[in-house]
Structure 1
Amino acid sequence: MGDRFQAIVDVQASAQEAGTLAADVRSWLIASGVVSAERTDCVLSADLGYPSGPGADAVVGLSGWSVPWQGGLDITIGRTVFDAGQGDPMAVTCPHCSATIDLLDEDFELSDEAWEPFREVVHGWGEGRDVIVPCPACGRPVEPTFWKWADDYFVFAHLGFMFWNWPPLRPEFVAEFTRHLADHRTVLLEGKL
């Protein structure tokens, strides 16, 4: 069955402002009852997280979910590669020329040749390095955070909110969440482990 997650990732938060934004959003979520203030063992990505609170049902779609349900929130601050969990990245698109590079071969396996330059981009970001590679189509160099991954398989950021085993977050909640992140551009990443 596995564990599912939804991550609201702030792709514009700088390393310097991520902590302040996280604290502001955490306070808002606790005050509105979406999560409880006392941290427990309720997430997979950290030792402790914030369990869903009494107001959580108001921000999710419960169709098909047994009630009551229980989930947790992990707030990740710091340079992180957020990914979709299972499977492999299928493709990546250049922000300059819009060329899409397929990363899977005819057997739907990760192609070593196509994946090789991007492996360093992903691992480099996680290790604190900005690996800049040229687009295979147009040759222009691309910053790690500018590549567009199919289905947002990878998101590089300094701030993310991982909702573990929650029903689908309502779009209006995600929009309000974004407003609390200074209207930064966010990505809603969904995955399963």
Structure 2
Amino acid sequence: MGDYFQTVVDLDATERDAQELGARVLDWLIAEGIVAAERTDCVLGGDGYGHAPGPHFAKAVDDPDPVDLWSNGLHVQTGRTVFDSGQGDVGAAVCPLCRAEIRLVDEVWEPIESAWEPFEGRFHDWAEGGGEGIVHCPSCLGACGIDRWSWEDDYYACGHLGFTFWGWAELTSGFTREIGRRLGGHRIVVLAGKL
């Protein structure tokens, strides 16, 4: 079976402002009754504690049926993080400089080792803060941080702030846009996945 999740990642938050931005959005979610104020044992990852769905959680999702799972809360994560979609593989990466699509799997979804070479170790470098995880694009030969690359089906996102909703129905586009607005108009991406 597995546990499904959706993570709204702020692509523009800095290490300095991630805590304050996360608290601002969490305060709004609590005030709206979308999540409960108290932290309980209701999420996977982190310390296992998050915010359970509030009485008005249906404002955020396309299916108002109650969330009837143990892992059904919101986990707010701050700090340099490589967010991913869990199970499965990413099909392609797109260079932010030349917009070339680099196919990472073949027609039967086997990884193409040579295509992955420019990315090897770069997520780790970026996440650990020991560098920007510089990737040299095999198409244009330009160099930039891995945090600027985009990934097919939004499989990866590098950021300092993420809101992970465990076991919720699909988040509405209006709700995710409102999160972006409350983050000061920052660019956001929504990763959906399963563990």
State whether TM-score is above 0.5.
yes
Matched, 1:159 2:170: no
Q: Take 1:123 and 1:87, find their aligned partners in 2: how far apart are those partners?
A: 19
Matched, 1:84 2:85: yes
AA in 1 matched with 2:78 = I
> Between Structure 1 and Structure 2, which shows a larger proportion of strand residues?
2
Matched residue, 1:38 = 38
- Preserved contact between residue 118 and residue 138 of structure 2 (Cα < 8 Å): no
Structural mapping, 1:64-75, within 5 Å:
66-67=65-66, 69=68, 71-75=72-76
Matched residue, 2:118 = 117
5+ residue gaps, structure 2, are none
Offset, 1:68: 5.5
5+ residue gaps, structure 1, are none
- Preserved contact between residue 67 and residue 167 of structure 2 (Cα < 8 Å): no
TM-score by length of 1: 0.93
Secondary structure at the counterpart of residue 39 of structure 1: strand
Structural mapping, 1:143-158, within 5 Å:
143-158=145-160
Matched, 1:52 2:56: no
Secondary structure at the counterpart of residue 40 of structure 1: strand
Offset, 1:106: 4.3
Greater shift, 152-161 or 107-116, is seen at 107-116
Offset, 1:133: 2.0
Matched residue, 1:126 = 127
Secondary structure at the counterpart of residue 190 of structure 1: strand
Q: Take 1:99 and 1:68, find their aligned partners in 2: how far apart are those partners?
A: 40
> What is the aligned length?
191
Cα RMSD for the two superposed structures: 1.5
Q: Take 1:172 and 1:95, find their aligned partners in 2: how far apart are those partners?
A: 27
Offset, 1:119: 2.5
